[in-house]
Structure 1
Amino acid sequence: MWKWWRNRQRKLRSQKPLPHFLPRLIERPDLSTWLTDAARVKLINHARNMVAEKNWEGLSGLVVTEEMKWKIALQASRLTLGFDDSPFDSIQSILIYPSTYVAPQQTWLGHIVVESSSLRLGEAWKRGPIVLSWEDIQREWEGQEPLHNVVIHEFSHVLDMANGDADGMPVIENPALARNWISLVPQQFAQFVQRLHSGHSDIINSYGATNLAEFFAVSTEAFFSSPKLFNMWHPELAQLYRQYYGDTCYSTSWPLHPQHPRSSPLLLSSRRDLNHDWAHVG
């Protein structure tokens, strides 16, 4: 009964006009020309449902506008294009701080719990809310953080936790893809950690060396933020992510499309190793 009512509401919603600011928001290539026409419609529909169905709450005095909701929903919905239905329907609340915030944390030392706090850009909790920093979202939207995206990071944790704990293994329906994932991702993670320990840099932020869950989230950020550069560094992982996130959703303008015209090589010297205190996974 609930699913029927939700689908009816979505059908009615799809007949209403889209917000006047949407054409300006989707001028970005990753939200427009990189996508097929069908995928672009799907992206907008998933984002529209997220905007309407979630509880959006500004914290520390932040007033959340409709345009802010759409900026977040459009980015999160990029992760959903390879799925028939949005995998984020179970999320109920999205909480937004004005900027980086302080959150309490507990650390066990033997039988002693040490209470402390840490600066956060965002959090994703199992069966809980998504927490985000608006300042960082806006910086990333404006291109000031070319290899980072806190929205994609936190929502990728939600994908990861759909089948239990965050372990870098999301739900994968395709058996062959699941086998490839189980074989390749831990191998890529081990090579990444070894690379960092050897003093080398990587397009994937060093926070990804924390564990497999963070490796999945941080590498997903890099994959969506700079697909061509990600493919140059990690071609096997890029191929795996293309299959998981739905490579048929992309047009020939997408840098990883087989028919994409050749472009000048990217300068690897321009990469940056930016260390952020990323999400706590609850």
Structure 2
Amino acid sequence: MITVITILGGSSLLVFLIWSWERIRYDYRRLDRDSNHPAPEGSGSLLPEWAQHHDWLRTHNIYYRSLSLDNQARFLRRVMDFMRYKEFKYIDLEPDPMIPLLISAAAVQLTFGLTDFRLDFFEKIYVSGSAYQVHWHKQAFQGHVSLQGIYLSWDHFFHGYQEYDDGHNVGLHEMAHALTYGAMMGRTTMEKSFRTKFKEYAKAAYPILTRMRNGEDSVLDRYAATNFHEFWAVSVETFFEKPLLLKTCEPALYGALCQLLNQDPLELTAVKVV
């Protein structure tokens, strides 16, 4: 227990750690009882690992820091669950336990208001050290999504969370592509409700996309004008990194994203996880 105090740095967080750990253990027992996914073996010994993950997330993920203590516990439980169902493959990069944690956190951040958060359509996440080449493309990629999996440049991913106010976040961008890729392919449990809400999002998005393609300026990065799929991913980046500006300049789009993702980045302490 002394080690835990050192990691978290304070008696108040120690109380949170004990309370949250009991909550996580309860959630795992319930998961084991109510679903086809059994609780992980040795789940009773996850406490030191959980404490380290909590520390990394508080250091590198401003979204996590902004959550209530209750929702931090739920968020971390989802991150650990997400990691167990993905295979991380490294390209020109040494494995590091913080890498899958932070990447999983980007996916959980995007889906935190949704019931289906695992992006089950994808089993593998490929992480390269830096930008990489794809087939015949001349331009190096920072990330992309394909049938084979989710691909990310770690350098660009990490930078996106260190500079969390510029509207550029490779992790959120590619997870947004992954979310709609799986949902529109009809292989996720969220298919029906998500598709219905996504149509409402599209109604708000297309007028802005049209204006941007006609040369008008927007709060969204110009890359959003490439096509509707990129507009969606860029709007997600802006939604989380510049929420007040997006809400002020494009209130209909902001509202549609709040409805679609079932969360409001401006009210994180009040977010209710379904």
TM over 0.5: yes
Partner of 1:119: 140
Alignment of 1:231-242 (within 5 A): 231-242=247-258
Letter in 2 for 1:69: P
Alignment of 1:86-101 (within 5 A): 86-101=117-132
**What is the aligned counterpart of 1:16 among 37, 46, 57?**
46
Letter in 1 for 2:110: L
Partner of 2:23: none
Counterparts of 1:120 and 1:132 in 2: how far apart (Å)?
8
2:54·2:76 contact (CA, 8 Å) conserved in 1? no
Counterparts of 1:191 and 1:46 in 2: how far apart (Å)?
38
Structure with larger RCO (C-alpha < 8 A, sep 6+): 1
Partner of 1:103: 134
Q: 1:159 to 1:4 in 2, by over 3 A?
A: same
Q: 1:211 to 1:13 in 2, by over 3 A?
A: farther
1:36·1:251 contact (CA, 8 Å) conserved in 2? no
Unaligned runs of 5+ in 2: 1-32
Unaligned runs of 5+ in 1: 106-115, 258-282
Q: 1:48 to 1:181 in 2, by over 3 A?
A: same
Q: 1:146 to 1:8 in 2, by over 3 A?
A: same
| Higher deviation after alignment, 136-145 or 219-228 | 136-145
Question: How far is the alpha carbon of 1:157 from its aligned partner?
Answer: 0.7
1:82·1:244 contact (CA, 8 Å) conserved in 2? no
Counterparts of 2:251 and 2:167 in 1: how far apart (Å)?
17
**Structure 2 residue 171 is matched with structure 1 residue 151:** yes
SS at match of 2:139: strand
Q: Deviations over 1:56-114 (max 9, x none)?
A: 11102x11211111111112210111211314123211111111112113xxxxxxxxx
**Structure 2 residue 72 is matched with structure 1 residue 40:** yes
Partner of 1:190: 210
**TM-score (norm. length: structure 1):** 0.71
Counterparts of 1:67 and 1:43 in 2: how far apart (Å)?
16
Counterparts of 1:209 and 1:80 in 2: how far apart (Å)?
24
Superposed CA RMSD: 3.1
Percent identity of the aligned residues?
19
Q: 1:87 to 1:184 in 2, by over 3 A?
A: farther
Partner of 1:215: 231
**What is the aligned counterpart of 2:86 among 45, 54, 59?**
54
Task: Looking at secondary structure, tell me which structure has more helix per residue.
Answer: 2
**Structure 2 residue 63 is matched with structure 1 residue 30:** yes
1:36·1:249 contact (CA, 8 Å) conserved in 2? no
Q: 1:247 to 1:89 in 2, by over 3 A?
A: same
Partner of 1:7: 37
Counterparts of 1:76 and 1:14 in 2: how far apart (Å)?
25
Letter in 1 for 2:126: L
